[in-house]
Amino acid sequence: METLPFCPVNFARPGSVSLVDFSFNTRPFPTSIRKQSLGITRASVAVETQNPKLALIKIGTRGSPLALAQAYQTKDKLIASHPHLAEDGAIEIVIIKTTGDKILSQPLADIGGKGLFTKEIDEALINGDVDIAVHSMKDVPTYLPDKTILPCNLLREDVRDAFICLTASSLADLPAGSVIGTASLRRKSQILHRYPALKVEENFRGNVQTRLKKLNEKVVQATLLALAGLKRLNMTENVTSILSLDEMLPAVAQGAIGIACRSNDDKMAEYIDKLNHEETRLAVACERAFLLTLDGSCRTPIAGYASKDADGNCIFKGLVASPDGTRVLETSRKGPYTYKEMMEIGKDAGEELLKLAGPGFFGC
């Protein structure tokens, strides 16, 4: 099989985005992001600068290509819903480096704690450095910081995981002893449960581009990435195959983008209310109720997915596993697609798996 090509990241917009440690020119470019300069600054946040006019909305985000793609998607939707925001400088992108971005030498599970990719952004929101925060919902802890609300989810992307490999067409085709690179314990446990002859490199960190580079350098034989992220980056040509939901249940809220604002900021709440996709919001709420009930530790693989069937009902599937994949517990539910009932579905499914797992299963 030929080496998979890298695809351009197409989130660029006119202007410039300056980061804490270096800056990117966001004028359109042909193949990739080009590092412009390297240097240390004292700023804790960085702003997309278009003109000195005071912005009406400052969007807080991480600085990875995927995070920026999601921030620009939010910006575009805000402009589409509120045409006056199309004026130059009306919306600024503020890049904030999180704990998860700073510590790349360890597996996420070993770093511990919650909110590794959201804490600093939430702090900037509370402090008034930004007006809204754009998060990948699977990174958002089940609790929200005081003085913030998260009332908006954009239309959800494909929740499935993509298999990417230079030598095999699927996990099943990989020879025994092949190494899969993934920092996700959820993926690791489900891989090892179905394919115990495979090995998993857990400290496989970095953004999408970094992980694909490691794959091309044969650091590992294959990797799994969220299909949603690859679609948002226009990089689906790198996908070897797509795993079914039966083969790999997604992370809670995978493929969903959340937008938070301060709880006392009615103006921002009104802005983002028009962006909300209610079906997605309800599904994410159901899945997060499941996660909250389990209260899993940093080393507990948990997966959950709520969707609407052809009859308009909620179908929920949930899973917990041991990190080595030797024990996997699953459950499913069906009920009305309404907020109250879906919250109950998530909670009830979590309580069932807690009982099945027994004491000590969720210990860190």
What is the pLDDT at residue 363?
Answer: 61
Q: Which residue matches tokens 């309580």?
A: 351
What is the pLDDT at residue 107?
Answer: 63
The pLDDT-based confidence of 21 (bands split at 50, 70, 90) is: very low
The pair of three-digit structure tokens given for residue 127, joined into one six-digit string: 């402090």
Start-end of H helices in 233-302 = 266-273, 278-294
Mean pLDDT of 14-37: 31
CA dihedral 129, 88, 82, 24 (to 10 degrees): -60
Q: Which of 15-24, 164-173, 274-283 has the lowest mean pLDDT?
A: 15-24
Strand bridging mode 45-49 / 91-96: antiparallel
- Quick one: DSSP state of residue 236? G
Identity of the highest mean pLDDT range in 21-30, 200-209, 267-276, 355-364: 267-276
The pLDDT-based confidence of 104 (bands split at 50, 70, 90) is: low
Mean pLDDT of 102-128: 80
**pLDDT tens readout for residues 50-79:** 444 688 999 999 999 999 999 999 999 999
Longest dimension (CA), the chain: 60
Q: Which residue matches tokens 């620009």?
A: 72
Report whether pLDDT(125) > 90.
yes
Report whether pLDDT(245) > 90.
yes
Report whether pLDDT(11) > 70.
no
The pLDDT-based confidence of 110 (bands split at 50, 70, 90) is: low
> Could you give the C-alpha distances from 157 to 136, 188, 229, 312, 354, in angstroms and in order?
11, 22, 9, 19, 29
The pLDDT-based confidence of 116 (bands split at 50, 70, 90) is: confident
Quick check: is 295 catalytic? Answer: no
Strand bridging mode 91-96 / 57-61: parallel
Distance separating alpha carbons of residues 16 and 36, to the nearest angstrom: 11
Mean pLDDT of 242-266: 98
Q: Which residue matches tokens 């092949």?
A: 178
Report whether pLDDT(327) > 80.
yes
Catalytic residue among 139, 158, 173, 246: 139
The pLDDT-based confidence of 109 (bands split at 50, 70, 90) is: low
Q: Is the model more confident about 148 or about 38?
A: 148
Phi-psi region of 90 (alpha: psi -120 to 50; beta: other; left: phi over 0): alpha
Mean pLDDT of 200-217: 91
What is the pLDDT at residue 41?
Answer: 26
Mean pLDDT of 214-241: 96
**pLDDT tens readout for residues 268-326:** 999 999 999 999 999 999 999 999 999 865 578 999 999 999 999 999 999 999 999 99
Mean pLDDT of 15-34: 31
Distance separating alpha carbons of residues 208 and 215, to the nearest angstrom: 11
Strands in 241-242's sheet, in edge-to-edge order, are: 199-201, 179-181, 222-226, 161-165, 241-242
Phi, psi dihedral angles at 225 (to 5 degrees): -135, 155
Distance separating alpha carbons of residues 285 and 340, to the nearest angstrom: 10
Phi, psi dihedral angles at 72 (to 5 degrees): -70, -35
Distance separating alpha carbons of residues 298 and 296, to the nearest angstrom: 7
Mean pLDDT of 31-48: 34
Query: Mean pLDDT across the chain, nearest whole number?
Result: 85
Q: Annotate 78-145 with three-state secondary structure.
A: HHHHCHHHHCCCCEEEEEECCHHHHCCCCCHHHHCCCCCCCHHHHHHHHCCCCCEEEEEHHHCCCCCC
